[in-house]
Amino acid sequence: MKELGYYNGRIGELSEMTVPMTDRVCWFGDGVYDAQMCRNYHIFALDEHVDRFFRSAAMLRMTVPMSKDELKALLNSLVKKMDTGDMFLYYQLTRGAGPRGHAFPKSQPNLWVTLTPKQLIDKREPISLITVEDTRFLHCDIKTLNLIPSVMAAQQAAEAGCYEAVFYRPGGRVTECAHSNVHILKEGTLYTAPCDNLILPGIARARLLAACRRLDIPVKEEPFFLPDLLAADEIITSSSSALCLRAGVVDGQPAGLRDPERYNRIHDEIIREYMEETK
Which of 143, 186, 220, 279 is the catalytic position?
A: 143
Which CATH number belongs to the domain containing residue 248 in this structure?
A: 3.20.10.10
For residue 77, what pLDDT is reported?
Answer: 98
Question: Do residues 279 and 42 touch, judged by C-beta distance below 8 A?
Answer: yes
Are 95 and 62 in the same domain? yes
Backbone phi, psi, residue 110, to 5°? -110, 130
For residue 88, what pLDDT is reported?
Answer: 98
Q: Answer yes or no: is 122 within a domain.
A: no
Range of the domain at 226: 127-277
Q: Give every residue of the chain whose pLDDT is below 70, as ranges.
A: none
Q: Is 143 among the catalytic positions?
A: yes
For the chain, the domain total comes to 2
The count of C-alpha atoms lying within 13 angstroms of the C-alpha of 115, restricted to the half-sphere facing its C-beta, is 28
Are 8 and 138 in the same domain? no
Are 78 and 153 in the same domain? no
Are 113 and 180 in the same domain? no
Helix-helix angle 260-277:203-214, to 10 degrees? 120
Q: What is the pLDDT of residues 259-279, one digit of tens each?
A: 999 999 999 999 999 999 999
Q: What is the Cα Rg of the chain in Å?
A: 19
Look at residues 64, 87, 117 and tell me which one is the last residue of a structural domain.
117
For residue 11, what pLDDT is reported?
Answer: 97
pTM of the model: 0.95
**Residue 30 region, left (φ>0) first, then alpha (ψ -120 to 50), else beta?**
beta
For residue 255, what pLDDT is reported?
Answer: 98
